[in-house]
Copies of this chain bind each other. A is one copy, B any other.
Amino acid sequence: MNVAQKSQDQITPDFSTFDSIFRPKAVAIIGASNKEGSFGRLFLEGIIKAGYSPIYPIHLREKELMGLKAYASIKDVPVPIDLALLMVPYSEALKIVRECVEKEVRGVVLFTSGFGEKGEEGKQAERELAKIVAGSRTRLIGPNCNGLYSPAVKLVSLPGSLITGGVTTEAGTLSVVSQSGSLNDFLVQTLTRKNIRFNKTVSTGNECDLHAEDFLEYYGSDPNTTLIAGYLEGIKDGKRFYQLAKEISKKKPIIIWKGGMTEAGARSAVAHTGALAGSSVIWETMFKQAGIINPNSFEEMVDCILAFSWTGIPKGRRIAILSSMGGTNIGTTDNCIRAGLEMAKLTDQTKERLNQLLPGAGTSASNPLDVGVGGMMNPKVFAEGMKIITEDENVDMLMLVADPDAPLSIPSIIEAIPSIKKPVTVSIFDMLDLTESHYRKFLEHRIPVFHEPKRAVAALAKMCEYADYLKQYK
Question: Is A268 in contact with B330, judged by CB distance below 8 angstroms?
Answer: yes
Mark each residue of chain A from 343 to 369: 1 if its CB lies under 8 Å from any CB of chain B, else 0: 100000000000000001110101110
Question: Is A272 in contact with B364, judged by CB distance below 8 angstroms?
Answer: yes
Question: Is A331 in contact with B366, judged by CB distance below 8 angstroms?
Answer: no
Question: Is A182 in contact with B265, judged by CB distance below 8 angstroms?
Answer: no
Question: Is B452 in contact with A451, judged by CB distance below 8 angstroms?
Answer: no
Question: Is B297 in contact with A331, judged by CB distance below 8 angstroms?
Answer: yes
Say whether, besides A259-B330, A330-B272, A431-B190, A159 and B264 are in contact (CB < 8 Å).
Answer: no
Which residue from B184, B190, B265, B367 sits with its C-beta under 8 Å from A331? B265
Query: Which of A15-23, A321-329, A465-473 lies on the face that meets chain B?
Result: A321-329
Bound complex: CA A145 to CA B168 (Å) = 48
Say whether, besides A113-B361, A272-B370, A298-B452, A434 and B193 are in contact (CB < 8 Å).
Answer: yes
Secondary structure call for the A interface: helix
Question: Is B326 in contact with A272, judged by CB distance below 8 angstroms?
Answer: yes
With a cutoff of 8 Å between Cβ atoms, the chain B residues found around residue A376 in the complex are: 159-160, 163
Bound complex: CA A432 to CA B439 (Å) = 10
Query: How many interface residues does A have (CB within 8 Å)?
Result: 93
A147 interface residue per 8 A CB criterion: no
A263 interface residue per 8 A CB criterion: yes
Question: Is B193 in contact with A433, judged by CB distance below 8 angstroms?
Answer: yes
Mark each residue of chain A from 107 to 144: 1 if its CB lies under 8 Å from any CB of chain B, else 0: 00000111001100000000000000000000000001
Say whether, besides A296-B335, A404-B164, A265 and B330 are in contact (CB < 8 Å).
Answer: yes
Say whether, besides A296-B331, A334-B259, A451-B451, A271 and B364 are in contact (CB < 8 Å).
Answer: yes
Bound complex: CA A433 to CA B192 (Å) = 12
Question: Is A430 in contact with B325, judged by CB distance below 8 angstroms?
Answer: no
Instruction: List residues of A (308-340) whose CB comes within 8 Å of B's CBs.
Output: 324-338
A14 interface residue per 8 A CB criterion: no
Question: Is B257 in contact with A331, judged by CB distance below 8 angstroms?
Answer: yes
Question: Is A452 in contact with B299, judged by CB distance below 8 angstroms?
Answer: yes
A183 interface residue per 8 A CB criterion: yes
Question: Is B331 in contact with A431, judged by CB distance below 8 angstroms?
Answer: no
Question: Is A326 in contact with B181, judged by CB distance below 8 angstroms?
Answer: yes
Nearest first, the 3 A-B pairs at minimum CB distance are A180-B327, A183-B327, A259-B330
Interface residues of A (CB under 8 A from B): 37, 39, 90, 112-114, 117-118, 144, 159-160, 163-164, 166, 178-186, 189-190, 193-194, 231, 233, 257-265, 268-269, 271-273, 277, 296-300, 324-338, 343, 360-362, 364, 366-368, 370, 372-373, 376-377, 403-405, 429-434, 436, 440, 451-455
Q: A113-B362, A265-B330, A272-B329 are in contact. List 15 more A-B contacts (CB 8 A).
A: A39-B377, A160-B376, A179-B327, A182-B326, A184-B327, A194-B432, A231-B327, A262-B333, A263-B337, A264-B337, A268-B364, A271-B366, A277-B330, A296-B334, A297-B335
* Interchain Cβ contacts under 8 Å between A and B, 28 examples: A37-B377, A39-B373, A39-B377, A114-B360, A117-B364, A159-B405, A180-B325, A180-B330, A183-B327, A184-B327, A185-B405, A186-B431, A189-B434, A193-B432, A231-B331, A259-B327, A264-B336, A264-B343, A265-B330, A268-B329, A269-B330, A272-B364, A296-B331, A297-B452, A299-B452, A299-B454, A432-B436, A451-B451
